[in-house]
């Protein structure tokens, strides 16, 4: 007997009858009263209230006139950005109505390689949040310009794509390498089914990251099979991408009224998706996750049902998850009850027909032992000394001209600049009247020999750090030890606090460690629940404010100075990187 058919026909009692709701239909764009019938984890019928004969069901849920919407589907994120394990992440996002996520384990892959991806898959098993995986494509993000702890090869991609939890290739980040016929990038794309146009037998989706590509370069990127983008774009750039068939993935920090208007002005829905990408744990708890992106998009002018579709139906179809994204017969009973789309607060959350969260509280508890606990002790560095953070100059006395990493106020972007700095006794000094700070990056994976080649130096302008230092192993993308500060002594003290914790973030003022957050799993993840991790992170942010560093997204601010595939001037353990040209440049200007 086909139970789904018989339950739909009311021949046998269904598991659950959700009555007295208004269905938000993301397929047709309508809202109307409905009864939702669930059996064996699937929706089997959606019918008008009062349909006769009366429904048979083992339990009846009174929706109290609320909207019934599909569980939210996040098509692009890094769980590691929330600094917690998948189980603790699930406990935080399920009460917000998020039921499916497409995880790019890019951060842990940069530390542990394919082993890290497999560890994340294992850690995501048997939890109610549906975690699907994309194979990290750019590990390291810029080969030859940084030293990562792991690497993903074309053979790794083929092997990982064979796993049932893996649905495609994660964001291809190095557009310059692709256009230059880099053999590893081409090999990774070939392994994922790219390079030959669209194919019916492609093993999965191929995600993109192309903030700097336009015109023919953008067309070439898309022709290679990389047809989504979640990075910052102006309205004309966004429209250009949409016209080429690129799936637009919009994250909150880039949303503006002009951008939303540009999306709404496109005559057809092009499959726009709302995504989160990176959400810090304190922001997750206090503000929200994909539910917040949805609220924000609506507040900036996106039609509410269009926004809901962009957080459910569109991402599910983008990821080829045909069994979810809408409340319709045959699809998974991932259902959320809310009072309104504009305020989107999940009152009741069901996954596969089971209630997992209610009134903002998760009804599921993470296990006491997490598989990721076995991946600690990954910071392979001896104690650091103040002299390790002194920047040697090419002259003994006088002044030198240096390149600077210039912060764009209120954003996480940087540009390339220059400054003249004093030299005393052969060491670079910070001028007292300029907003400059030292930055050093130390390779911590044990992949390179000890000595001068294992660390690099630079200067950051506009950070606002008036005194003290901070150190972190959460530093995109290779997650080496990054140290920023005003004096070598404070930089060494902050670095040693992080090394002692085997990963994390530490803030120092003089001889005092003001705040710290341990991230002992791979040097990037906490082993504590989201609430505890958020509190520790908040204390770090407050300590940075005491030192003068204030930023709306301070974690992304300090963790992306080391991202060589972004824009502007960046720094890795190998030196300063001109991100646009993808090459190392000298700190000192001739």
415 in the same domain as 345: no
Nearest to 421 by CA among 386, 395, 385, 387: 395
pLDDT of residue 177: 82
Q: How buried is residue 545: exposed, middle or buried, by Cβ count under 10 Å (0-12/13-18/19+)?
A: middle
74 in the same domain as 48: no
| Length, in residues, of the chain | 590
The whole-angstrom separation of Cα 423 and Cα 406 is 21
241 in the same domain as 172: yes
The whole-angstrom separation of Cα 214 and Cα 557 is 26
| Domain closes at, from 43, 65, 87 | 65
Q: What is this structure's pTM?
A: 0.94
Nearest to 543 by CA among 438, 434, 468: 468
221 in the same domain as 296: yes
Asked whether residue 380 is assigned to any structural domain, the reply reads no
Asked whether residue 529 is assigned to any structural domain, the reply reads yes
pLDDT of residue 532: 97
The whole-angstrom separation of Cα 405 and Cα 432 is 18
Q: What is the mean pLDDT of each run of 10 residues along the chain (590 residues)?
A: 92 97 98 98 97 95 97 98 97 98 97 97 97 94 90 95 96 85 90 83 88 90 93 94 97 96 96 96 96 98 98 98 98 98 98 97 93 95 96 96 96 94 97 95 82 81 97 96 98 98 98 98 97 97 96 92 92 94 92
**Within a 10 A sphere around the Cβ of 23, how many other Cβ atoms?**
23
**Which residues, including other chains, have CB under 8 Å from residue 155's CB and lie 6 or more apart?**
191
Asked whether residue 379 is assigned to any structural domain, the reply reads no
Asked whether residue 313 is assigned to any structural domain, the reply reads yes
Asked whether residue 20 is assigned to any structural domain, the reply reads yes
Number of domains in the chain: 3
3-state secondary structure of 89: helix
390 in the same domain as 365: no
399 in the same domain as 370: no
| Domain closes at, from 340, 374, 408 | 374
| Domain closes at, from 374, 400, 418 | 374
Chain center to CA of 98:
15
411 in the same domain as 338: no
Residue 85 phi, psi dihedral angles, 5° rounding: -75, 160
CA distances from 18 to 23, 55, 217, 328 (A): 11, 11, 50, 13
Give residue for tokens 């050093």.
Answer: 440
- β-bridge pairing 335-338 and 481-485: unpaired
352 in the same domain as 255: yes
Asked whether residue 590 is assigned to any structural domain, the reply reads no
Determine the structural domain holding residue 410 and report its residue range.
Answer: 386-585
CATH assignment of the domain containing 32: 2.30.40.10
3-state secondary structure of 275: strand
394 in the same domain as 542: yes
pLDDT of residue 448: 64
Is 509 within 8 Å of 491 (Cβ atoms)? no
Q: What are the strands of the beta sheet with 72-77, ordered from one edge?
A: 72-77, 98-103, 130-135, 166-172, 205-208
199 in the same domain as 253: yes
357 in the same domain as 334: yes
473 in the same domain as 356: no
């Amino acid at each position: 007997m086909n139970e789904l058919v018989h339950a739909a026909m009311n021949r046998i009692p269904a598991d659950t009858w959700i009555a007295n709701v208004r269905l938000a239909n993301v397929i047709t764009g309508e809202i109307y009263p409905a009864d939702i019938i669930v059996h064996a984890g699937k929706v089997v019928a959606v019918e008008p209230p009062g349909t006769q004969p009366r429904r048979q069901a083992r339990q009846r849920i009174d929706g109290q006139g609320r909207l019934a919407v599909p569980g939210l589907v996040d098509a692009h994120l890094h769980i590691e950005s929330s600094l917690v394990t998948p189980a603790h992440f699930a406990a935080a996002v399920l009460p917000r109505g998020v039921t499916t996520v497409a995880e790019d384990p890019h951060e842990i892959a940069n530390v542990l390689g394919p082993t890290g991806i497999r560890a994340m898959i294992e850690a995501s098993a048997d939890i109610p949040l549906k975690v699907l995986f994309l194979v990290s494509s750019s590990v390291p993000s810029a080969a030859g310009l940084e030293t990562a702890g792991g690497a993903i090869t074309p053979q790794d991609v083929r092997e990982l794509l064979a796993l049932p939890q893996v649905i495609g290739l994660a964001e291809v980040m190095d557009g310059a390498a692709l256009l230059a016929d880099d053999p590893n990038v081409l090999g990774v794309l070939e392994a994922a089914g790219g390079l030959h146009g669209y194919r019916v037998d492609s093993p999965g989706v191929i995600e993109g990251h192309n903030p700097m590509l336009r015109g023919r370069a953008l067309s070439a990127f898309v022709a290679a099979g990389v047809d989504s983008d979640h990075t910052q774009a102006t309205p004309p750039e966004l429209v250009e991408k949409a016209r080429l068939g690129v799936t637009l993935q919009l994250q909150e920090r880039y949303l503006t009224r002009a951008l939303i208007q540009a999306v709404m002005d496109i005559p057809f829905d092009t499959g726009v998706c709302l995504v989160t990408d990176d959400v810090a744990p304190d922001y997750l708890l206090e503000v929200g996750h994909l539910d917040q992106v949805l609220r924000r998009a609506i507040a900036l002018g996106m039609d509410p049902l269009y926004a809901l579709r962009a957080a459910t139906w569109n991402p599910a179809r983008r990821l080829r998850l045909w069994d979810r994204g809408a409340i319709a017969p045959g699809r998974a009973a991932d259902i959320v009850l809310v009072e309104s789309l504009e305020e989107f607060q999940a009152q009741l959350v069901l996954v596969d027909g089971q209630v997992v969260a209610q009134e903002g509280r998760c009804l599921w508890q993470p296990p006491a032992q997490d598989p990721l606990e076995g991946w600690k002790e990954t910071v392979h560095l001896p104690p650091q000394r103040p002299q390790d953070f002194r920047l040697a100059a090419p002259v003994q006395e006088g002044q030198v001209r240096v390149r600077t990493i210039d912060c764009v106020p209120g954003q996480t972007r940087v540009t390339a600049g220059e400054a003249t700095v004093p030299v005393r006794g052969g060491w670079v000094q910070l001028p007292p009247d300029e907003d400059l700070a030292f930055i050093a990056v130390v390779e911590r994976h044990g992949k390179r020999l000890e000595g001068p080649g294992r660390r690099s130096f630079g200067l950051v302008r506009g950070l606002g750090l008036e005194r003290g230092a901070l150190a972190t192993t959460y530093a995109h993308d290779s997650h080496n030890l990054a140290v920023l500060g005003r004096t070598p002594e404070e930089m060494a003290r902050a670095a040693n606090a992080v090394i002692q914790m085997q990963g994390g973030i530490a803030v120092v003022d003089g001889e005092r460690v003001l705040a710290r957050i341990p991230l002992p799993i791979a040097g990037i993840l906490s082993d504590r629940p989201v609430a505890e991790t958020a509190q520790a992170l908040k204390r770090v942010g407050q300590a940075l404010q005491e030192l003068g560093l204030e930023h709306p997204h301070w974690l992304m601010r300090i963790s992306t100075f080391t991202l060589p595939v972004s824009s502007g001037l960046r720094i890795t353990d190998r030196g300063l990187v001109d991100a646009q040209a993808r090459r190392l440049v000298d700190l000192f200007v001739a």
